[in-house]
Amino acid sequence: MIDVEDLIELVRNYNPKTNAELIRKAYAYGRKMHAGQYRRSGEEYFTHPVEVAAILTEQQLDDATIVTALLHDTIEDTKSTYGEIAEQFGAEIAELVDGVTKLTNLQLTSSETKQSENFRKLFMAMSKDLRVILVKLADRLHNMRTIRSLAEDKQAQKSRETMDIFAPLAGRMGMQWMREELEDLAFRVLNSEARNSIIRRFITLQRETGDVIHKITNDIRAELEKGDIDADVFGRAKKPYSIWRKMEEKGQGFSRLSDIYGFRIITDNEADCYRVLGAIHQRWRAVPGRFKDYISQPKSNGYRSIHTTVSGRDGKRVEVQIRTRQMNEVAEAGVAAHWSYRDGVRVENPFAVDPARWIASLSERFENADDHDEFLEHVKMEMYSDQVFCFTPKGDVIKLPRGATPLDYAYSIHTRIGDSCVGAKVDGIRVPLWTRLKNGQSVEVITAAGQRPQSSWIDIVVTGRAKAAIRRSLRDEDRERFIKLGRELARVAFDHIGKRATDKALSTAAKQLSLPGAEELLARLGSAELAARDVVRVLYPELATGGDEIDIKRAVVGLKPDQTFKRASCCQPTPGERIVGITYRGQGVVIHAIDCPVLAEFEEQPQRWVDLQWHSGVHPPAHTVSLDLTIRNDAGVLGRICTLIGEQKANISDLHFLDRKPDFYRLIIDVDLRDIEHLHAVMLALEADSEVASIERHRDAGRKP
């Protein structure tokens, strides 16, 4: 374990004016509180907070953050309290420790909490003080470095969480070194075979070609000397996970992957960055489409650099990053550069982004996400995306993720502009809305009154803001459609028992079902969240089932007295069809239609087969059968289909769309029927309708019984 004086010395290296006594006091307090606690590896538990503090010294952070690292588990894992820490170390440190504690508690309940909610809370914590996240990231990094002491299932869980949340979060904050290390540590757990394979290929490549990095570094230095440019040159092979991801994205093997080496050139000033770029491009051929100038157009987290890829020695592609020393400090520390100290004073780096402004701009992108999973989708999308920079007709710059379309551009200006967009011009030429925008293009949005977002737009846009706005508009539109469909479903269901679906009846049913009102009930009926038969049953339980019909429990003949049965969902056997039973331990008997393809799996297990037949009496309409329909996309067609089914005394229990085209819909309708004759009558009535293009019974052999 790092001694307290060694830790203080690490801080003094960048902050000679550090409050050494405060660090000693926190070190002693933390060690006392964690006395008798041990990690899974057998080490004293306090080694962990000390290592977290040491990681934060590498980022040259202030005393408050270092002390928070030493105390970050005290409230959670010891008898220490918020009040005690505030009394001994001040309100600022108490707030930071409490913030980290809340994040730790969040992770402890992550098995019960959706990952998207975790992410939302991470951003809430960020908005109060970004240093909470810096401590949490360092905490996660040390835990990943020592993850081998955990059980395998716990290793996998923590690694997935790291890959999905903490690594991209570190990247978005500009701490690329931490992102790469977190990804690599998680990759080692989640796919060790792939990682080891890549490392073995590197060793083989080095044996065959020699030290390529050293050779290319010398080549670059020689070119800079020719141009009389003073700069430092560093080279390295890319991390195994970065290479594996490129192989997956490009569908290429390791031998065909070219840009596996990266080089960084650090200059004294911005002008020299462009001189270096000129020297590199004069000496080696630039790879088209691989140039990015983040100096003239910085990323939102303050990152500035020139990126280019060239065909280097022996035709090998190499990626080159060019930036000044101050830019490099921000590239290494990211948003954390705001708190960096040197010689006892906070560093005034002109490129360090203000954390408050950065988190505000990031949070604004997700504020309209109504759904937690939608929120997570947007966060991941924004974190992994590079940016393109487009111009408005007036010359203003609009930043968008790579792959953005004119629709994304329209929504980035204003939701109203996006909703009413009917077309776009790029560099003065009319283009389709799905066109992918490129750096430097000028975009003009064409709008029209009365235009509304289309469902296909969801697949066109890439930004969270655009997706959220489109989904919100579609939900409003869908609700009106669902209410109309729900009213038709209710009418058919009530007609089936000789009643009318009046507003009063629907309001009464809504109250019984604990719904806000009749409109919500109809919306849920139309969206298949609620079955019409359940509404009828609430109001008229005595009419919901026939009087002389067979009890559903006695519908099958051939079972033993103690045996129960259920219908297989794969083939949905219906009274009147030939059936056979298959015994399942703990499930009783599952009934299959005699022609069900799933039965082939049991040919070698005759002892599990049971000879059965349906009872010959009248069955209640409680046997669900799925119908696959393709119908014309026109006003009133779906309502008429529902009416036809109702006229056959059948009840629709569920409905969902498989495909929506401008001219046709394909959907699955679950219908409750009595028997096979009832099914044939329903299908015949639907097939005879001119708006039905095709109809067949839907059977899913992939469904579990």
The DSSP-derived string for 558-577 is: S--TT--EEE-TTT---TTS
Nearest residue to 306 (alpha-carbon basis) of 270, 330, 282 = 270
Q: Which of 44, 77, 184, 268 is catalytic?
A: 77
Nearest residue to 653 (alpha-carbon basis) of 521, 473, 529 = 529
Helix (H, G, I), strand (E, B) or coil at 345: strand
Cα 306 to chain centroid distance, Å, stands at: 30
The DSSP-derived string for 600-615 is: GGGTT-GGGEEE-EE-
- Which of the following CATH numbers is that of domain 194-346: 3.20.170.30, 3.40.930.10, 3.30.460.10, 3.40.50.720? 3.30.460.10
Q: How far apart are CA 152 and CA 159, in angstroms?
A: 10
Where does residue 588 fall: left (phi above 0), alpha (psi -120 to 50 degrees), or beta otherwise? Answer: left
Q: Is 394 exposed, middle or buried (0-12, 13-18, 19+ CB in 10 A)?
A: exposed
Sequence-ordered list of residues with C-beta below 8 angstroms from that of 540, at least 6 positions apart, any chain: 497, 499
- CB 205: neighbour CB atoms within 10 A? 15
Q: Say what the pTM is.
A: 0.52
For residues 647 and 604, the answer to whether their CB atoms sit within 8 Å is no
What pLDDT sits at residue 385?
45
Active site residue 495: no
- Indicate the pairing of strand 588-593 with strand 565-567: parallel
Place of tokens 């429990």: 553
Grouped pLDDT means (10 residues each) for the chain, 705 residues: 90 87 93 90 90 90 91 88 91 87 56 49 62 88 91 88 81 80 91 82 71 85 90 84 71 55 90 92 83 82 84 75 87 64 54 57 52 51 57 78 89 90 89 84 88 83 85 76 82 81 88 86 78 81 55 74 83 88 82 87 85 75 87 82 84 81 83 86 84 86 58
Q: How far apart are CA 211 and CA 203, in angstroms?
A: 10
Question: Which letter, b or e, does each residue of 660-689 get, where b requires 16 or more Cβ atoms within 10 Å of its Cβ?
Answer: eeeebbebbbbbbbbbbebbebbbebbeeb
Sequence-ordered list of residues with C-beta below 8 angstroms from that of 619, at least 6 positions apart, any chain: 549, 550, 552, 555, 575, 674, 675
Query: Regarding the domain delimited by 4-190, which CATH topology (the fold level of the hierarchy) does it fall under?
Result: Hypothetical protein af1432 (1.10.3210)
For 36, how many CA atoms within 13 A lie in the half-sphere containing its CB? Answer: 5
Q: Which of 43, 58, 76, 675 is catalytic?
A: 76
What pLDDT sits at residue 274?
92
For residues 522 and 487, the answer to whether their CB atoms sit within 8 Å is yes
Residue range 585-611, pLDDT digits in tens: 766 889 998 888 888 888 888 888 888
> What CA–CA distances, in Å, run from 436 to 74, 94, 315, 404, 443?
50, 48, 30, 6, 12
Active site residue 230: no
What pLDDT sits at residue 110?
38
What pLDDT sits at residue 516?
85
For residues 158 and 111, the answer to whether their CB atoms sit within 8 Å is no
Residue range 294-338, pLDDT digits in tens: 888 787 667 889 999 888 666 677 889 999 988 887 777 666 665
Q: How far apart are CA 82 and CA 84, in angstroms?
A: 6
What pLDDT sits at residue 21?
94
For residues 579 and 592, the answer to whether their CB atoms sit within 8 Å is yes
Question: So where are the chain's domains?
Answer: 4-190, 194-346, 552-614
Q: How far apart are CA 332 and CA 339, in angstroms?
A: 13
Residue type, 393: P
Place of tokens 């009394």: 87
The DSSP-derived string for 456-491 is: THHHH--SHHHHHHHHHHHHHHHHHHHHHHHHHHHH
The DSSP-derived string for 116-164 is: HHHHHHHHHHHHH-THHHHHHHHHHHHHHHTGGGS-HHHHHHHHHHIII
What pLDDT sits at residue 69?
92
What pLDDT sits at residue 383?
46
Structure tokens at 556: 């099958």
For the chain, state the CA radius of gyration. Answer: 33
What's the N-to-C CA distance of the chain in angstroms? 57
For residues 74 and 85, the answer to whether their CB atoms sit within 8 Å is yes
Nearest residue to 331 (alpha-carbon basis) of 186, 170, 162 = 170
- 194-346 shares the fold of 4-190: no
Sequence-ordered list of residues with C-beta below 8 angstroms from that of 289, at least 6 positions apart, any chain: none
What pLDDT sits at residue 362?
52
